[in-house]
Amino acid sequence: MTIGAAAPLAAFVRSEQRAAGVRELLGLGPPGGSRRPLVGVIVVLAVLAGIGAAQPVLAKTHHQAARTDAEAFFIIDTSRSMLASDGPDAETRYDRARDIALRLRDGMSTVPVGLASLTDRVLPLVFPTAKRATFESTLRLALGVDRPASSEAGDVRATKFTALAAVGNRNFFRGADRRLAVVFTDAESTSFDANVVANALAEGNVQLLVVRIGKLGETVYGPNGAPEPYESDPGSAALAESLASAAGGEAFGEDDLDSAIGAARRMVGEGPVVAQTEQLDVKPLAPYVFLAALLPLAFLLYRRNFALG
């Protein structure tokens, strides 16, 4: 029993003992006749306090289907140019990239998906998982523009596609036969050798899908809403196409998401699916139990005050 529940109960017991002593001196019987209801209320209070002290929880679980032969890595450009938008209060490229990434992930929900950031290097944040909640929480909370900043601080265009070679020659994937890298970027990269990236991805058996986020005329706005010295790169679409083509992959614009989802599904194909148990929504019940305990406690306190009055 917790201290909060025990103190009022102990006070009530002492009060009852004093009242019983007074009634014995005066030759009076107990108030209300039988004491059984009173004992029952005390027992209920003690039981509820004991249950609450045990900290019960309500855990909801469900089975998540997951592929065993395929994995994907979603790589989101977090360079400062991804803050470009149509206006100070409009959605940025980065905001749109996150929403599109989540929709594409839901379009291939049985494939475990990891998440990484891209500037002048690729930084993995979560490795491929079938748990949507894990993916989304990492996407919403752990990822951010200039977090971490590129090594070229202050450069609005800090993306270097050469860094994508790490996805093919580092341990980003965990043994899956079919591997897919999806890059969400405005494709405003510094100069790079597409063949270096293509060869590294081929070595790691990684297919490439590029989703280009951005429109001409968008501007990067500072914290005070003033535009920064930045202009959209009119050659970004061609650059995204050249990267994808060199790696034998495909490139799509942000307005062609359905086609991108279809391409991603083709790239990972079909394969064996197993059910994994995922625990969700662990809800503590102790506050509700202690709230219920207030009813018998209030009855006891009312009875004590009535008897003393």
User: What is the band of 150 on the pLDDT scale with cuts at 50, 70, 90?
Assistant: confident
Residue 273: φ, ψ to 5°? -125, 135
Residue 283: φ, ψ to 5°? -115, 120
What pLDDT does residue 146 have? Answer: 87
Residue 274: φ, ψ to 5°? -120, 160
Tell me which residue has tokens 């010295």: 229
Read off the pLDDT of each residue in 16-39 and give the average, rounded to a whole number. Answer: 58
Percent of the chain with pLDDT over 90: 54
pLDDT digits (tens, 9 = 90+) for 103-118: 999 999 899 999 999 9
Query: Across the strands, what pairs with 115?
Result: 74, 126
Cβ contact 149:42 at 8 Å: no
What pLDDT does residue 304 have? Answer: 59
User: What is the band of 44 on the pLDDT scale with cuts at 50, 70, 90?
Assistant: low
Cβ contact 293:45 at 8 Å: yes
Kindly report which listed range (95-99, 275-279, 284-288) carries the lowest average pLDDT score: 275-279
Percent of the chain with pLDDT over 70: 70
Tell me which residue has tokens 């009535």: 306
Q: Cα separation of 115 and 181, whole Å?
A: 10
Query: If you write DSSP's letter for every residue of 269-306 in order, what string do you get?
Result: ----EEEEEEEEEEEE-HHHHHHHHHHHHHHHHHHHHH
pLDDT digits (tens, 9 = 90+) for 229-282: 888 999 999 999 999 999 999 999 999 999 999 999 999 999 998 876 565 556
Tell me which residue has tokens 């969400």: 184
The two beta strands, 113-118 and 70-77, are: parallel
214, 79, 180, 278: CA torsion to nearest 10: -100
What pLDDT does residue 1 have? Answer: 47
Nearest to 134 by CA among 183, 64, 79, 184: 64
Query: What does the block give as tokens for 94?
Result: 């980065």
User: What is the band of 38 on the pLDDT scale with cuts at 50, 70, 90?
Assistant: low
What pLDDT does residue 240 have? Answer: 95
Cβ contact 195:246 at 8 Å: yes
Residue 214 has pLDDT above 80, yes or no: yes
What pLDDT does residue 14 have? Answer: 64
Q: How far is CA 26 from the centre of its chain?
A: 68
Which CATH architecture is the domain 63-275 placed in? 3-Layer(aba) Sandwich (3.40)
Query: What does the block give as tokens for 142?
Result: 């752990």
Residue 35 has pLDDT above 60, yes or no: no
Q: Cα separation of 145 and 186, whole Å?
A: 13
User: What is the band of 81 on the pLDDT scale with cuts at 50, 70, 90?
Assistant: very high
Residue 31 has pLDDT above 90, yes or no: no
What pLDDT does residue 90 have? Answer: 95
Q: Cα separation of 267 and 235, whole Å?
A: 27
The two beta strands, 178-185 and 122-129, are: unpaired
Q: Cα separation of 13 and 195, whole Å?
A: 83
Domain coordinates in residue numbering, the chain: 3-56+285-308, 63-275
Cβ contact 176:202 at 8 Å: no
Nearest to 2 by CA among 69, 60, 50, 72: 50
What pLDDT does residue 287 have? Answer: 76
User: What is the band of 16 on the pLDDT scale with cuts at 50, 70, 90?
Assistant: low
Cis peptide before 148 (omega within 30 of 0): yes
Q: How many CB atoms are closer than 10 A to CB 56? A: 13
